[in-house]
């Protein structure tokens, strides 16, 4: 069976896998975004214990394979009474893993904001929390939006690991089709093309948005 025939005949499988892949990626990045900001702020805290905890979080998650993290959450935690569905385990894994990378992105963005603006806001009577909320974070987030977009693309690709625990993403659907057709190559080629179209399209959209933001900054 050729690639186009396979894609059409089993389109319901592939579309279901695409929905789950995008769902996992979107939730993972959104939750990782929020958690990443928290971790970044903790890394810049004046309290040494909080800085140490945040640094340990980042280094551990960046220094261990995501597949191992997924297996710990899905197969390891039930031994201590914490049980999750395949989708929940996938979301948790993608969230905590992306939070470690986004935390470093946010920290770089915050440190890149001109110190003079912080000092000016403090001289106007704004508290440290108000300065961070209204002055620093908006600028930092705008500066790192392209990097956040790149993390979203990365998460889309890395979400394929959830198929290893039974979540119905693209990889899981490809393996299901293989069991039906005994064709081990064509379903994988179809999802490879789907991943490429997704990531290529997103990268072009993000590139155009970045150029538009850069142009507006220079006006």
pLDDT in tens, 143-165: 888 888 888 899 999 999 999 99
pLDDT value, residue 124: 74
Confidence at residue 128, expressed as pLDDT on a 0 to 100 scale: 74
* 158, 94 Cβ separation under 8 angstroms: yes
Each residue's pLDDT tens digit, 98-137: 999 999 999 888 888 777 777 777 777 777 777 777 778 8
How confident is the model at residue 34, as a pLDDT?
92
Per-residue DSSP letter, 39: H
* pLDDT for the residue numbered 146: 80
Distance CA 2, CA 154 (A): 29
Give residue 49's pLDDT: 95
What is the spatial distance between Cα 92 and Cα 83, in angstroms, rounded to a whole number? 12
Write b or e for each residue in 99-128: b if 16 or more Cβ atoms lie within 10 A of its Cβ, otherwise e. Answer: bbbbbbbbbebbeebeeeebeebeeeebee
9, 1 in Cβ contact below 8 A?
yes
Q: What is the DSSP letter of 46?
A: S
Residue with the two structure tokens 């893993």: 97
Q: Which residues of the chain have pLDDT under 70?
A: 1, 213-219
* Planar angle of CA 18, 102, 119, nearest 5 degrees: 145
| pLDDT at res. 111 | 82
What is the reported pLDDT for 80?
93
What's the CA gap between 169 and 14, in Å, rounded? 9
Domains of the chain: 3-217 (1.10.3720.10)
């Amino acid at each position: 069976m050729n690639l186009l025939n396979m894609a059409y005949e089993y389109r319901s499988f592939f579309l279901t896998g695409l929905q789950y892949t995008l769902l996992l990626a979107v939730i993972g990045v959104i939750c990782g975004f929020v958690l990443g900001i928290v971790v970044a702020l903790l890394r810049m805290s004046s309290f040494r214990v909080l800085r140490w905890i945040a640094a340990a979080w980042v280094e551990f998650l960046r220094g261990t394979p995501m597949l191992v993290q997924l297996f710990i959450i899905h197969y390891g935690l039930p031994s201590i009474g914490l049980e999750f569905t395949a989708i929940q385990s996938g979301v948790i894994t993608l969230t905590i893993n992306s939070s470690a990378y986004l935390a470093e992105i946010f920290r770089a963005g915050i440190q890149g904001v001109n110190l003079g603006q912080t000092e000016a806001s403090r001289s106007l009577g704004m508290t440290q929390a108000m300065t961070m909320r209204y002055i620093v974070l908006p600028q930092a987030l705008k500066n790192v939006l392209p990097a956040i977009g790149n993390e979203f693309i990365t998460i889309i690709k890395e979400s394929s690991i959830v198929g290893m625990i039974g979540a119905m993403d693209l990889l899981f659907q490809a393996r299901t089709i293989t069991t039906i057709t005994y064709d081990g190559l064509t379903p994988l080629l179809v999802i490879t093309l789907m991943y490429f179209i997704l990531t290529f399209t997103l990268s072009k959209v993000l590139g155009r948005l970045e150029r538009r933001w850069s142009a507006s900054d220079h006006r």
